[in-house]
Amino acid sequence: MYASPVDKSGRRRPVWNAAGVRALRRHLGLTQQELADELGTRQQTISEWERGLYRPRGASARLLTLVAERADFAYEAVPAKDDNKDAR
């Protein structure tokens, strides 16, 4: 669901892709609007992530990771299809 590049500290950091965001939202049983409300973002942003137009980054990506861990969401590291996609 996400690729795990290594950051400057040597730790793996998740990079969420469209399928991962959608799977997490469905695992949580939330609508796009409900997930947006939880993350403090717009529903349109969630939609854009799920359609692969953009990827979550920075604080949004970290929040998704924390939510996934707390929800016992089973995700796996897989290579990102396009590391050059714009992020939002």
pLDDT tens, the chain, 88 aa long: 444 555 556 666 678 999 999 999 999 999 999 999 999 999 999 999 999 999 999 999 999 999 999 999 976 544 445 444 455 5
- C-alpha to C-alpha distance for 78 and 30, rounded to whole angstroms: 24
> pTM of the full predicted structure?
0.74
Cα pseudo-dihedral 25, 28, 33, 37, rounded to 10: -110
CATH of the domain at 43: 1.10.260.40
Question: Could you tell me if residue 75 is inside a domain?
Answer: no
CA–chain centroid gap for 79, Å, is: 14
DSSP 30-55: --HHHHHHHHTS-HHHHHHHHTTSSB
Quick one: pLDDT at residue 6? 52
Residue range of the domain that includes 30: 2-70
Q: Which residue has the tokens 């949004």?
A: 60
Provide φ and ψ at 87, rounded to 5°: -115, 155
The verdict on residue 82 lying in a domain is: no
